Amino acid sequence: MAGPERQRLDKWLFYARAVKSRSLAARLIHAGAVRVNREKVDQPAHSVKAGDGLTITLDRRILVWRVLDTGMRRGPAEEARGLYEDLTPKADGAAAPIAPAPAAEREPGAGRPTKKERRLIDRWRGE
């Protein structure tokens, strides 16, 4: 299904399922997290066409996509994958995935008071 020759960048990101909504796509573009053909874009109305290269920074990952087609709608994931070619370099095996930080430990009784302790403090203050 071929779309128009050119399409708004925010609309294309929404159709390609890079983001959940067009307003999130617009925010991403305004934040400078999207580049078209290696140039920073700050307007959601910037036009993209087949053959353009996109670099998208999302959370902790960087996506490198080549636009293959413009979309007509936000369809299923298989249809969205047909809009782009993923050129993102694969992570080599040497780089280990980032493990979550261990939970902070503290001594019993340290930190915020419990509800029972709070009532005792209030009674002691005379409140």
Tens digits of per-residue pLDDT, 40-56? Answer: 999 999 999 999 999 99
Instruction: Return the pLDDT at 1.
Output: 56
Tens digits of per-residue pLDDT, 59-68? Answer: 888 999 999 9
User: For the whole model, what pTM was predicted?
Assistant: 0.70
What is the pLDDT of the chain when averaged over all its residues?
A: 89
CATH superfamily of the domain spanning 6-86: RNA-binding S4 domain (3.10.290.10)
Residue % of the chain over a pLDDT of 90: 67
Instruction: Average the pLDDT over 90-106 and give the result.
Output: 73
Nearest to 48 by CA among 22, 12, 19, 14: 12
Helices within the chain (DSSP H only) = 9-15, 22-30, 77-81, 115-125
Please state the domain extents for the chain. 6-86
Strands (E), 11-127: 34-36, 39-40, 47-49, 53-58, 61-67, 84-86
- Is the pLDDT score of 94 beyond 60? no
Nearest to 80 by CA among 88, 69, 94: 69
- Is the pLDDT score of 103 beyond 60? yes
- Hey, what amino acid is at 16? A
Instruction: Return the pLDDT at 59.
Output: 85
Instruction: Average the pLDDT over 100-127 and give the result.
Output: 84
